[in-house]
Structure 1
Amino acid sequence: MRTRNAVRALLALTATGAVLTPPAAYAEEPLRVDLRADTDRDGRVDLTGGTDTAGEDTWSVARGAVFLPNIDDDSKRCPTTGPGGRPLSDAKLAACNDASDTKVNGRADAADLARVRSVPMGGLPSDAKGSVTVTVGAAQTRVFLLRNGAWEPVTSSTRLTRAELRAGVEFGVEGKDVIRDSAKWDGRVAIRLKVTSASGTASDTVTLRAAPLLTHHARQNTQQLLVTKVSGNDPWAKRQREFVKRLARESRRAGITKPLVTFEKYGDIWAQDFVEPAYLNMTGPDGRQRTMRVMLRSAQDREAGRELYEKLRGPDVGVVQAKGRDMQGWETLNSYGNLETIPPYALGGRSYPAGRIIMGERKDGSGIRPSKEIRTLLKSQGLQDPLLLDTSWLHVGHVDEFVQFLPADTPRGWRIGVADPAGGLQLLRDAQRDGHGAKKMFSVPGFDELLPPEETIDEALASRHLVSDNETAAGKIAANLEILKRETGVTDEEIVRVPALYTRGIVGDSAETRVPLLRRLGGGTPEAARKYGQQKLAEDAAAAAPAPTVMTSAYVPGAVNGILLSRDRYLAPRQWGPVVGGKDIFTEAVTAAYTRAGLKVSYVDDWYTYHLGMGEIHCGTNTLRDASGLWWKP
C-alpha cells in the first residue's frame, strides 16, 4: 500500500507539471491466469511446483487428468418402481444416477469429483472478474464450484469475484455418462478460466478425460461371486439351490470373505450372460484410488438385467445399458459369456496395460457379430480394443466355451487355457485300447424324470459324428489359438490344454427337433429335457443360420468353463466321465492339467442345473474382482 507521504510527494510534483513514470512497485501486474488439474494422477493439484503443468492441454494413456463418469447412486435416491409400485421402463431405470441432477450427492468430501484449481492471482485490478466455460465436452460433463464451503453448479451466469481469484478457486468435475462412441465424444473435456478487467483479458485451459470403462481380467483377485438362486419347490429348483450352497462353500474355502450376491427375482440362471462386471477409477483428492464398479447390462432384452438396478446400483456401483438391435438373429453373441479379457500385455509397440477384450463372432460368411453398439462402446474406451474370434462352430457361440486366461508365476504373469478335444478323444481311445470300451461314457446318476445316459465308450467312439465333430472342433480351436498367439506373443509353453469333448446339434432345425440332443445327453422324456434346457435353447442360433450348419456344445462338462476363485484355486464342473479303476478318467486328466499350471482344482456338479442347458458353472455365475490397480500402468 502506498504511504501517505509518498502520495503527498506525487501530488506536489504533478502540480509543477513534472511527468513521472510510476515506480515498478506501483505498476499494475499483467493479468496472468494459471488453471491446473491433476495431470500426473497423484490425487493432488500442484499449485506451487511444475508437476501438473506439463501436458495440461493434452491427454494420453500415461499422463493427463482423469474424471469419473458419476453414474453410481451414493444416496440411494434412484427409484426402481413407479406410482403404485409399477415397474419402471428400462429407459427410466437407466436415466437416474448421481450425475442426473445438479447436486453433489451423498458424500461430504465430494470424492467422485475430479479437482481443478486456479493458482491464486495477486495484483489484480479492482474490477477483475472471472468466468468459466467448458469449451469441449460440455454436454457430457458438469462442473461445480466450491464456494463458501458448498458445491454449486457452474452455469453460463457464474462469475468469480476478485477476492475469489486472489485466493484461488477450486472446481469439481463429473461425467454424466461413460464414453459410448468416440466418434461423437472421445471423453475429453476442456475447461477454460477467463479473467477480464478494464486493463485486458487473460485465460487458461486444462484438458481432462473420462476414466475408461474397463472389464476385469484374471490377474485381478476375486473378491465376490454372483449367482442366480431360483425359487420353487420342484426338484430342479431345489437342486439349483443346492448348487448355490456348494458354490458358497467353495468360495469360502478359496478365502473369499464376502458372501455370494444372489439374483432371486427373475429366474434367469445364466448370471454370466446378462451382466459383465466392469469398473472405473481415478486417483481421488485424498491420493487414494477412487473405484466405481459398473454393471454392464447385456444388449439382449433380458429381464434379469433389471435386477442390476433394483439390487446392485448404489454407492460406488453404477449400471450401464447398451442395447443395440443389429444382430440379425443370433442374439446369443450379445451374452457376456461371449466376452472375456486377456490380461495385460505388450507386443510390437502396442500396449494393453488394462488387458484386452475378446469376443466371438460368426466367421462363416454371415457377418453376424455382437451388437455394433456394444462393440463401439468397448472400443471407444481406448484401452481394451476388442479382438474377435470365430465361435461359429459352437451352438451357443461364446468364447468361454473353449478359452480362458489363468494367472501364472511367469514373466508374462498369465497363461492361456484352452479346451482340448484331441486330448478328450485320446482319453477314450486309451481306455478302449486298455479293454474298457464297455464302460459307460458317463457316470452321472439319474435325476427326477431324467435317466442316466447309457452309452458306452465303444458306442461313443463308433457314433456317426462324435469323432469327426471333435476333430473339427480341435481345428477351430487351433485356428483361434493362432490368432491369440499372434496378437499376444504367447508361446506353446504358455498354453494349458484341458481335455474336452463336444457334441453336435443342427442349427436350422426347430427347437422341438433339437430336444433329442438334450435327451441323449440326459436321458428321460422330451418333455423333461425341454423343461431343463429351454432357457438356453431360446438363445441359440436357429433364427440366424441361412442353412443347416453343424454346431457343437460340451459333451463332457466343459472344464475350461469354470471359475477362477483365486490365484491358485480353480473350480471346475464335475466331469462325470467314464470310471476306470475307480477313477473318473476325465477328472484325473483335468486335475493334472490344472495342477501342472499351478492351480488346485475342486469340482461342483452342474450336470442337471447348467450342463444340459448347454452351459457350465462359469455361464451360471459371475465374478467381482479387485479394481484398485492403476490402469495406466502395466
Structure 2
Amino acid sequence: MRTSHAGRLVLALTATGAVLAPTSLAQAAEPLRVDLRSDVNRDGRVDVTGNSDTSGEDSWSIGRGALFLPNIDDDSRRCKATGPGGRPLPDAKLAACNDALDTKVNGTADAADLARVRSVPMKNVPSDAKGSIKVTTGAAQTRVFLKRSGAWTPVTAGTRLTAKELRSGVEFGVEAKDVIRDSRKWDGRTVIRLTVTSAAGSTSDSLTLRVAPLLTHHHLQQAQQLMVTKLPGNDPGAKMQQTFVKDLAKEVRQAGITKPLVTLTKYQDVWAQDFVEPAYVSMTGPGGHRQVMRVMLRSAQDREAGRELYEKLRGPNIGVVQAKGPDMKGWETLNSMGNLETIPPYALGGRSFPAGRVIMGERKDSKVRPSQEIRTLLKSQGLQDPLLLDTSWLYVGHVDEFVQFLPADTPRGWRLGVADPEAGLNLLRDAQRDGHGKTKVFSVPASAGAVPKETIDQALASRYLVADNTMAAKRIAANVELLKRETGITDAEIVRVPSLYTRGTEDERSGTRTPTLSRLGGTVAPQAAEEYGQQSFLARNRDASAAPAEPTVETAAYIPGAVNGIMLTRDRYLAPRQWGPVIGGKDIFTNAVTAAYTRAGLKVSYIDGWYYHLGMGEVHCGTNTLRDASAAWWKP
C-alpha cells in the first residue's frame, strides 16, 4: 500500500496528461516511489526485480502471504532451570525465558529464523532523504531488525535510513515474540511501513505479514523420533516399564527410525502422551529451505513432568508453549494431550484443512470440555479448528482410546481406525460356541502381577460386560457418524479393530472413583505391579454383586486397546500386546487385530504394554512422537 505527500512540487505537462513530480529537474522524469516487499509467494526469496511478490502483499490467505516465525526457542541455551542456590525455578519463570525476550538475533549466522523484508532500490532518491520503519499493526508482538554493515541491529523509533542505503536497497528481518494465543486480541498479522522523507515531500509503502500458525502433527507425517519416560529403581513396576523402554527402542530401530529415544527421567510420569503435544511452526527460509521450529505444547495443567520440556528439551529450534487459564486447578483429564489427535489433511463442502484438523473429547453428558484457553489457542491459528467428539462414556475420556487415523494408498491418503466392541464380543461368543468357554480371557503370565482369572464363560455371564460394550458400540457409532459428516469419509474407508471395554474403577468400600497409576493425577512413584492390579483392573472388572450402574457409565479398555498404539511409518503399526484368550496355541484377539490392520495395508508388531493397561492406558498413552514437518503445510 503506497501513500505519498508532496512538498514542493510542480505540474509537468506531457502528451498524455499531468503528473506530480519533485521540483528537482534531475528527478522530474520519475516521481519518488517507495516499494517494500516480502516473501509473499513463500519461495524463500524476496523478489525486488520482478513481480512475483507484489500481488497480495497487503493481505494474507492460507495459500499466499508472507510468514514470520515466533522466536520462542533457545538457540544459545541461555534459559536456566534453577535460580539462586540451585533452587528450581517456578513454572512461570521457566516459561518466561526464550529468544524473543532479547533484542539480539540468536542462532545461526544466516539468521534463518528471521523472515526477510526488502526495499526496492530507489535510484532517484534525493541526497537529503531519510527513511524510517514502523510497525503499524501488531507492534507489541513484533520485532524488526535492520541489516547494516553485515550485522543485525534492532529497529527503534530513532532508526533512520540514509539516502545511500535507500539507493542500494535495505534488508530487514522480522520475528514474532509469541504464537497467536487469542485471535480476538491479536490475529497474528503485522503491518510494516517504510516512509521516506526529504525536502521534496514524503512517500511510504506498507506490507502485511502473519506469524506462522502453530500446528499439531498428523499421521501422514513421518515419525522421526519417539519420546518415553524411563523410571529408576528395581521394584516390579519400574522393571516392567524399563523393559518396555528397551522393547520400544528395538521396535523403533526395526522400523528404520535412526534417532535414539528421547527419554524423560526426572519426574517419573510415565504418561508421556498426556503432559505434552508436539507441534511446530514453519516458513520457507532464506535459500528456499523450510525453516521449522518444534513447539512442545504443554498440557493446560501444571503437570510436574511438563517442566522437563523447558529443562531438557527447549533449545535450538525447540520452544515450549502452554495455554493455561486462571481456572486451571485440579486434574481435569480432558486437558491431557492424549485427548488431542489430528485428522490428516482433507477438504469438504468448501472447507479445507491442508494441515489437518484437531479432534478433542468432551464429556457431553455433563457438559465438561477441555479448557477454554487451549481450545481458543488452537482455533486462533485459523487452520485446525478443533472438532469435539463425545467421550462421556470413557472414564479417562481421551479420544485416543477409540479412534485413530491410518495412512493409506487411496485418493484421500488416509483411513479412519476405530475400536469395534461388537467384534470383540463376537470373538468371545464364537470361542464359547466352539467349546472354549472354560479358557481364561487373559493369557498374561503370572509374573506380570495380579492377573485376572475369569474365563470366557464368566466374562460373558458378567452383569456388565455385554451391556458396557453394547453401550460403547453405540457411542462410537455416533462419533463415527460425526466424523463422516465432517470429513466425507465413507464406510469403505473405516478400519474396525476388535476391542472390549468395561466400566471404570471403583473403590470397593466407598464406591468412589479412584485414579490408578496416577493417570489422572500426574506423577507416578514406582510401585509393585500387584498393587496396580488390585486397585485398578480387577476392581473395574466386577461381577454381578457390583452396585447398580450409574446413569452415565464410564468405561476403560478390558482387553488392551489395539487402536491405542503407535504409527511408526506409513505401513508399520505398533500395537499393545493383546494378552487375550489363547486357543489352539494362538491369541484370538491378536489374530483378529492383525487381520484388521493387514487388510488396511499395514504391518503390525506388538509390544507388551500391560504395565500401562493396568493404569487405564496403553502404549500410545505412554509415548509421544516427533514427526517430520518439512512439507509446506499451506499446500493441499
SS in structure 1 of the partner of residue 352 of structure 2 = strand
Matches within 5 A, 1:20-35: 25=26, 27=28, 29-35=30-36
Q: Is the 8 A contact 1:445 1:451 kept in 2?
A: no
Q: Is the 8 A contact 1:282 1:290 kept in 2?
A: yes
Give per-residue Cα distances to partners, 1:86-135, cap 9 Å, x unaligned.
Answer: 11111111111111100001221111000000001112222110111000
Aligned residues, how many?
Answer: 596
Q: Is the 8 A contact 1:515 1:529 kept in 2?
A: no
Q: Is the 8 A contact 1:515 1:526 kept in 2?
A: no
Deviation at 1:300, TM superposition (A): 1.0
For residues 326 and 588 of structure 1, the distance between their equivalents in structure 2, rounded to whole angstroms, comes to 46
Which residue does the alignment assign to 1:555?
558
Deviation at 1:527, TM superposition (A): 7.7
SS in structure 1 of the partner of residue 425 of structure 2 = helix
Which residue does the alignment assign to 1:348?
349
Among 557, 564, 568, the alignment partner of 1:565 is: 568
Comparing 119-128 and 131-140, the one that deviates more: 119-128
SS in structure 1 of the partner of residue 486 of structure 2 = helix
Deviation at 1:526, TM superposition (A): 11
For residues 330 and 603 of structure 1, the distance between their equivalents in structure 2, rounded to whole angstroms, comes to 31
SS in structure 2 of the partner of residue 252 of structure 1 = helix
For residues 45 and 193 of structure 2, the distance between their equivalents in structure 1, rounded to whole angstroms, comes to 20
Which residue does the alignment assign to 1:402?
402
2:414 matches 1:411: no
Among 619, 628, 631, the alignment partner of 2:630 is: 628
Which residue does the alignment assign to 1:163?
164
Q: Residue type of the partner of 1:44?
A: R
For residues 495 and 97 of structure 1, the distance between their equivalents in structure 2, rounded to whole angstroms, comes to 43
For residues 379 and 504 of structure 2, the distance between their equivalents in structure 1, rounded to whole angstroms, comes to 33
SS in structure 1 of the partner of residue 143 of structure 2 = strand
Deviation at 1:507, TM superposition (A): 7.4
Which residue does the alignment assign to 1:261?
262
2:532 matches 1:529: yes
Q: Is the 8 A contact 1:420 1:498 kept in 2?
A: yes
Give per-residue Cα distances to partners, 1:339-359, cap 9 Å, x unaligned.
Answer: 000000000111000000000
Q: Residue type of the partner of 1:156?
A: A
2:580 matches 1:577: yes
- Describe the shift of the 1:89–1:510 C-alpha distance in structure 2 as closer, same or farther (beyond 3 A): farther
2:617 matches 1:618: no
2:594 matches 1:591: yes
Q: Residue type of the partner of 1:463?
A: S
Deviation at 1:505, TM superposition (A): 2.4
Matches within 5 A, 1:509-520: 514=513
SS in structure 2 of the partner of residue 610 of structure 1 = helix
SS in structure 2 of the partner of residue 588 of structure 1 = helix
Deviation at 1:75, TM superposition (A): 1.1
Q: Is the 8 A contact 1:358 1:386 kept in 2?
A: yes
Q: Residue type of the partner of 2:451?
A: P
Deviation at 1:452, TM superposition (A): 2.1
Which residue does the alignment assign to 2:19?
none
For residues 631 and 509 of structure 2, the distance between their equivalents in structure 1, rounded to whole angstroms, comes to 48
For residues 574 and 276 of structure 2, the distance between their equivalents in structure 1, rounded to whole angstroms, comes to 20
Which residue does the alignment assign to 2:248?
247
Which residue does the alignment assign to 1:234?
235
Deviation at 1:462, TM superposition (A): 0.4
Q: Is the 8 A contact 2:301 2:331 kept in 1?
A: no
Deviation at 1:454, TM superposition (A): 1.1
TM-score normalised to structure 1 length: 0.91
Q: Residue type of the partner of 1:374?
A: I
Matches within 5 A, 1:437-516: 437-447=437-447, 450-505=449-504, 514=513
Comparing 268-277 and 71-80, the one that deviates more: 71-80
For residues 506 and 457 of structure 2, the distance between their equivalents in structure 1, rounded to whole angstroms, comes to 27
Which residue does the alignment assign to 2:14?
none
Which residue does the alignment assign to 2:206?
205
Q: Is the 8 A contact 2:507 2:514 kept in 1?
A: no
Matches within 5 A, 1:38-53: 38-53=39-54
- Describe the shift of the 1:325–1:331 C-alpha distance in structure 2 as closer, same or farther (beyond 3 A): farther
Give per-residue Cα distances to partners, 1:598-620, cap 9 Å, x unaligned.
Answer: 1111111111x200000000000
Q: Which runs of 4+ in 1 moved over 3 A?
A: 21-29, 325-330, 506-518, 524-527, 530-534
- Describe the shift of the 1:529–1:428 C-alpha distance in structure 2 as closer, same or farther (beyond 3 A): same
SS in structure 2 of the partner of residue 410 of structure 1 = coil
Comparing 507-516 and 137-146, the one that deviates more: 507-516
Deviation at 1:25, TM superposition (A): 4.8
Q: Is the 8 A contact 1:507 1:548 kept in 2?
A: no
Give per-residue Cα distances to partners, 1:110-165, cap 9 Å, x unaligned.
Answer: 11000000001112222110111000000001000001111000011111111111
Deviation at 1:369, TM superposition (A): 0.3
For residues 433 and 558 of structure 1, the distance between their equivalents in structure 2, rounded to whole angstroms, comes to 24
2:601 matches 1:602: no
Which residue does the alignment assign to 2:3?
none
Deviation at 1:30, TM superposition (A): 2.5
Q: Residue type of the partner of 2:214?
A: L
Which residue does the alignment assign to 2:319?
318
Give per-residue Cα distances to partners, 1:472-497, cap 9 Å, x unaligned.
Answer: 00000000000000000000000000
Q: Residue type of the partner of 2:342?
A: T
Which residue does the alignment assign to 2:427?
427
Which residue does the alignment assign to 1:15?
none
Q: Is the 8 A contact 1:506 1:549 kept in 2?
A: no
For residues 467 and 286 of structure 1, the distance between their equivalents in structure 2, rounded to whole angstroms, comes to 61
Deviation at 1:190, TM superposition (A): 0.3
Q: Residue type of the partner of 2:575?
A: A
- Describe the shift of the 1:196–1:265 C-alpha distance in structure 2 as closer, same or farther (beyond 3 A): same
Which residue does the alignment assign to 2:57?
56
Give per-residue Cα distances to partners, 1:411-430, cap 9 Å, x unaligned.
Answer: 00000000000000000000
Which residue does the alignment assign to 2:102?
101
For residues 516 and 30 of structure 1, the distance between their equivalents in structure 2, rounded to whole angstroms, comes to 74
Q: Is the 8 A contact 1:326 1:372 kept in 2?
A: no
For residues 413 and 139 of structure 2, the distance between their equivalents in structure 1, rounded to whole angstroms, comes to 41
For residues 262 and 428 of structure 1, the distance between their equivalents in structure 2, rounded to whole angstroms, comes to 38
Deviation at 1:232, TM superposition (A): 1.1
For residues 577 and 558 of structure 1, the distance between their equivalents in structure 2, rounded to whole angstroms, comes to 11
Q: Is the 8 A contact 2:505 2:514 kept in 1?
A: no
Give per-residue Cα distances to partners, 1:180-208, cap 9 Å, x unaligned.
Answer: 00000000000000001111110000100
Q: Is the 8 A contact 1:505 1:517 kept in 2?
A: no
2:98 matches 1:82: no
SS in structure 1 of the partner of residue 466 of structure 2 = helix
SS in structure 2 of the partner of residue 53 of structure 1 = coil
Q: Residue type of the partner of 1:627?
A: A
For residues 235 and 24 of structure 2, the distance between their equivalents in structure 1, rounded to whole angstroms, comes to 95
Give per-residue Cα distances to partners, 1:268-327, cap 9 Å, x unaligned.
Answer: 000000000000100001111001111000111200000001111111111111113546
**Larger Cα Rg: Structure 1 or Structure 2?**
1
Deviation at 1:451, TM superposition (A): 3.2
- Describe the shift of the 1:305–1:604 C-alpha distance in structure 2 as closer, same or farther (beyond 3 A): same
For residues 500 and 154 of structure 2, the distance between their equivalents in structure 1, rounded to whole angstroms, comes to 60
Q: Is the 8 A contact 1:606 1:616 kept in 2?
A: yes
Which residue does the alignment assign to 1:121?
122
Q: Is the 8 A contact 1:298 1:322 kept in 2?
A: yes
Q: Residue type of the partner of 1:382?
A: G
For residues 26 and 286 of structure 1, the distance between their equivalents in structure 2, rounded to whole angstroms, comes to 36
SS in structure 2 of the partner of residue 473 of structure 1 = helix
Q: Is the 8 A contact 2:301 2:329 kept in 1?
A: no
Q: Which consecutive residues of structure 2, in runs of 5 or more, have no partner in the other structure?
A: 1-21, 518-526, 541-549
Q: Is the 8 A contact 1:438 1:457 kept in 2?
A: yes
Which residue does the alignment assign to 1:542?
none
- Describe the shift of the 1:517–1:297 C-alpha distance in structure 2 as closer, same or farther (beyond 3 A): closer
SS in structure 2 of the partner of residue 550 of structure 1 = coil
For residues 510 and 223 of structure 2, the distance between their equivalents in structure 1, rounded to whole angstroms, comes to 37
- Describe the shift of the 1:626–1:356 C-alpha distance in structure 2 as closer, same or farther (beyond 3 A): same
Deviation at 1:508, TM superposition (A): 10
TM-score normalised to structure 2 length: 0.90
SS in structure 1 of the partner of residue 614 of structure 2 = helix
- Describe the shift of the 1:380–1:22 C-alpha distance in structure 2 as closer, same or farther (beyond 3 A): closer
- Describe the shift of the 1:212–1:584 C-alpha distance in structure 2 as closer, same or farther (beyond 3 A): same
